[in-house]
Amino acid sequence: PSARPDLLVVGAGFFGLTVAERCATELGLRVVVIDRRSHLGGNAYSEVDPETGVEVHKYGAHLFHTSNEKVWEYVNRFTAFTDYKHRVFGKYQGQVYSLPMNLGLINQFFGKSHTPQEARELIAGQASEIATEDATNLEEKAVSLIGRPLYEAFIKGYTAKQWQTDPTELSADIITRLPVRYTFENRWFSDTHEGLPVDGYTAWLTRMAEHPNIEVRLETDFFAPGHDYSAETVKGTLPIVYTGPVDEYFDHREGRLSWRTVDLEESVEDVDDFQGTGVVNYNDQEVPFTRIIEFKHFHPERVKTHLPGKTVIVHEYSRFAEEGDEPYYPINTAEDRATLLRYRELAQAEPMVLFGGRLGTYQYLDMHMAIGSALSMFENRLRPHFGEGAPLTSGGIE
Ligand code: FAD
Ligand code: UDP
């Protein structure tokens, strides 16, 4: 067995690897990172399909974007980015529209050309039944922003499939990032920086862990007994950054936090190009899947390495996560929020353990947010602890 590390990180996703890399590089600490999966990278993990040469994101399509300069500078230490700009199309009643809501979609949907000013007036009229500041749920928020006709076509059916919950019972936050633009701009993200890692997510994540002071142990579950870093042996003896599910850490003693999962049905199709773009949403409620991803379109610059005549696609089906399913989207009902508060108290009192990442905080975090929050944990908790001896219990969940 190797010498005792200074820090144990549970989870080799973006959060855990950022913490490990910072502690090893900046403070010279010895860090062990464990993950129960057979690969590092967490949900951003991808691999090249051996038959077609296409990079497949194994836990759903991952598009990198950020307006956070610190994060952008940090991630560029490990990878270069392509100039890919994400665009999403939506199928509804036999037609294809360019999302998000923009002048092109509005003109096509209403069958008439509008100037930006005319479109604003049209949508303002349709959205006037409720003021955005009075909206208390997803349906009201959406109608207040885009009006009822567009809501019913592009949001209602898709959201029903994604959440299987009445949109009047869903939090308005879920669609906060769905913009309406009175121009023809159809980029999906509005961030300053956007692109895909030139040689893939796994190469990027592997480089983050390539420090002589970092050891990654895969297929090692923190809660399984009988290994050097099992919870029962190390709790209280070693500083720990834990990025697994917070309710699991406490043995679900305050109840289970609810999640949605996605069944990703991957197939190789015998056509060169299945849909002409990376992501097509299926907005009709009757179609059982929410969207189809065609991965080769994320990397047009790799065309020479892709096998002609074949393509890899994934149909996404969303459902409630049962025990054993991958937790993907926190549902965040009022009951979940109450449960989370109880776990936060427990987490704050847990000696020598910091909780982070999307599972450890029960928050939907984009990659740049997970990385940004790990950088903050390093600066605000870990550096003061290892550098100046500040206690590690303060703060709890980041
Ligand atoms: P994770 O990546 O989940 O890593 C946590 C790790 O902890 C996992 O590897 C897990 O195996 C391990 N672990 C848990 N419990 C234990 C245990 N007991 N013992 C050992 N190991 C354990 N973000 C974007 O910016 N753009 C996107 O386009 C995007 N698309 C997404 C699509 C989907 C379907 C989903 C679900 C997420 C998407 N995200 C996207 C978000 C992105 O996946 C997260 O920001 C990122 O994964 C967060 O990293 P993390 O380290 O917090 O968690
Ligand atoms: N949404 C929708 N119609 C669409 C795309 C998104 O109604 O065509 C809503 C839906 O409620 C979804 C939310 O917006 O859950 C966020 O969508 P996004 O595609 O950003 O989420 P992702 O699944 O990629 O995290």
pLDDT tens readout for residues 94-119: 999 999 999 999 999 999 999 999 99
Q: Which ligand is nearest to the CA of 62?
A: 1
The answer to the question of residue 343 being in a domain is yes
Q: What share of the chain is helix, strand, coil (3-state, %, to 5)?
A: 35, 20, 45
CB 316 within 8 A of CB 267: no
Whether this model's ipTM surpasses 0.90 comes out as yes
Q: What integer pLDDT is reported at residue 177 of this predicted model?
A: 61
- The tally of domains found in the chain comes to 2
Both tokens of 322, joined, read 């049962």
pLDDT in tens, 222-244: 999 999 999 999 999 999 999 99
The number of the ligand 1 atom at minimal distance from the alpha carbon of 328 is 36
The answer to the question of residue 188 being in a domain is no
23 phi/psi in degrees, rounded to 5: -65, -40
The answer to the question of residue 367 being in a domain is yes
The answer to the question of residue 288 being in a domain is no
Dihedral, 303, 307, 309, 310 alpha carbons, nearest 10:
-100
Residue 105 CA to ligand 1 centre (angstroms): 33
* Mode of pairing for the β-strands spanning 240-242 and 7-10: parallel
* Active site annotation includes 181: yes
Q: What is the pTM of this model?
A: 0.96
Q: Is 278 left (phi over 0), alpha (psi -120 to 50) or beta?
A: alpha
> 239 in ligand 1 pocket by Cβ < 6 Å?
no
> 221 in ligand 1 pocket by Cβ < 6 Å?
yes
Q: Which domain holds residue 12?
A: 7-40+209-257+332-388
Residue 54 CA to ligand 2 centre (angstroms): 25
356 contact partners, CB below 8 Å, separation of at least 6: 15, 16, 19, 241, 242, 243, 373, 374, 377, 397, 398
| End-of-domain residue from the set 175, 198, 228 | 175
| End-of-domain residue from the set 131, 149, 175 | 175
Q: Which is nearest to 34 in space by CA: 42, 26, 44, 24?
A: 42
pLDDT in tens, 175-186: 876 678 999 999
> 202 in ligand 2 pocket by Cβ < 6 Å?
no
**HSE value, Cβ hemisphere, 13 Å, CA-based, for 92:** 19
